[in-house]
Structure 1
């Protein structure tokens, strides 16, 4: 997950059929969409993928399918810790790594409870490292069932082991992001990918390796464009406009997600169902209307800045 070139790492959706089964043909089409849009890597089996609604074998099968479609063109990472004792979690890390991923991702809330202190969490991380051979790992500050945010110093300690190469940051605090970046700057193999698009440009300028956000499940080309042009002195008016677009439309993209993202991709021509196993609210006509308005705003934007759509 090199940070030499800024990149977009999609938090992948999982297409399902109307009967709830995984739609592997749809997953192929979705993976190809991300690649055609210019994604620098893929984060399979994450919260957007409805990982908590899949069993172990489905998590492995979905990840392996993505790896097979990608064929080594970009790195793939995938969540590999879902609770239980350290040995159990370590065993699944090994099984997930065997699918061909670049790094197995540790959910920060799965190694210690919400009331347990950071020293308990840290001790368990080191135990997990001990039981997972030399497998490259990453961290994911997943907001469900609660969000455990890593302090900058603690992240540095983990990165200094040489085993941690990836971090999906969800702290929403640009000052903390900058502190994490400064504390890990000496490790070229490590990359921090920011999830919060409100400060996307500032994060990229501060040194983040790229962006890993749900907005990429609506318009991945736009996130890629921002990673490519955030510091282009000839494009700063357009960069400011794109950054403001993400800020202005933040709330609507989170409402009834991920159903709304699947609906939006349908409107773009991707043949997938809006079915989700995870209930996040009612997808009614009011929500559809908001998505239609968002689609119109995006069409105007991508035409004005001359972005080529992947679908």
Structure 2
């Protein structure tokens, strides 16, 4: 993003009350937590926010709430395309931009179906650019409704327009990530990697930062990794942090985002574990796994002699 430094852009959780209504007080606390941890930007209205379970009015209200709280301290991006005719998508993009976002994010899997070729996707995206003049855009390789991964040269063609400034990458392939970075390196553009399996190597290759669900458990630890990934004097610690995330990847993904909300609750954040999205059963075994994860994190945190 144009105003962001290299670092962590959280895919924001959406807090709900136990009756299913959006909990704006908890959303305030959560936003403050991300900022206090050192986030360099915020990704509102994403899959972690349960965006497909929100109404358009709720999306816009929650985005405005976050933008108002941030008050320009860091840029905010938010998803703005949800299928349908391209003109309809463009109209909502304009509303999301008017809510105060730095860039409006397009879901790659909603600009073309899984069976439609890249040429069709490209045509749809160029139409969207034409119908939203002056609005900075970005891409989100969201796994829902299906994951459509952009090729490096395809991404470059859009970045060259000067309008696409952000990309949340979920390809899980370090080789592709490197190619995408190389193809877009001379432009005002940032690639944010979602995959912690190769996070350090992605940052070393030139990624603008990380945008991963693990940051909804321990945002300050992702920020620490973004700050120290290339610090030779702390190489052992960097490896330990990266391995912590790799080792616990399955625990953090199981019945997510319930587990992330529970972890935050254990850390003193007043947030319900209620989710509108059906993600499975939060069993006693899952609860114990998260409690052990939090203990392991506390030991790691202490070993880093963490200074903020």
TM range (shorter): over 0.9
Name the structure 1 match of 2:301.
302
Pairing of 1:209-220 with structure 2 (within 5 A): 209-220=208-219
- 1:2 CA drift (Å): 4.0
Is 2:291 aligned against 1:274?
A: no
Q: Distance in 1 between matches of 2:126 and 2:280?
A: 38
Question: Given the two structures, how large is their TM-score scaled by the length of structure 1?
Answer: 0.98
Name the structure 2 match of 1:227.
226
Name the structure 1 match of 2:26.
26
Name the structure 2 match of 1:72.
72
Name the structure 2 match of 1:134.
134
Name the structure 1 match of 2:250.
251
Name the structure 1 match of 2:103.
103
Name the structure 1 match of 2:125.
125
Name the structure 1 match of 2:143.
143
Name the structure 2 match of 1:176.
176
Q: Distance in 1 between matches of 2:14 and 2:4?
A: 29
SS in 2 for 1:104: strand
Question: Given the two structures, how large is their TM-score scaled by the length of structure 2?
Answer: 0.99
Q: Distance in 1 between matches of 2:4 and 2:287?
A: 39
Q: Distance in 1 between matches of 2:132 and 2:24?
A: 29
Is 2:34 aligned against 1:14?
A: no
**In the alignment, is the contact (CA less than 8 A) between 1:105 and 1:137 conserved in 2?**
yes
Q: Distance in 2 between matches of 1:307 and 1:57?
A: 41
SS in 2 for 1:123: helix
Task: Provide Cα deviations, 1:209-241, integer angstroms capped at 9, x if missing partner.
Answer: 000000000000000000000011111110011
- Which ranges of structure 2 fall in alignment gaps of 5 or more residues? none
SS in 2 for 1:43: strand
SS in 2 for 1:66: helix
Name the structure 2 match of 1:190.
189
SS in 2 for 1:235: helix
Task: Provide Cα deviations, 1:251-276, integer angstroms capped at 9, x if missing partner.
Answer: 10000000000000000000010000
The number of equivalent residue pairs is 308
Query: After TM superposition, what 4+ stretches of structure 1 lie above 3 angstroms from structure 2?
Result: 2-5
Name the structure 2 match of 1:293.
292
Pairing of 1:30-49 with structure 2 (within 5 A): 30-49=30-49
- Which ranges of structure 1 fall in alignment gaps of 5 or more residues? none
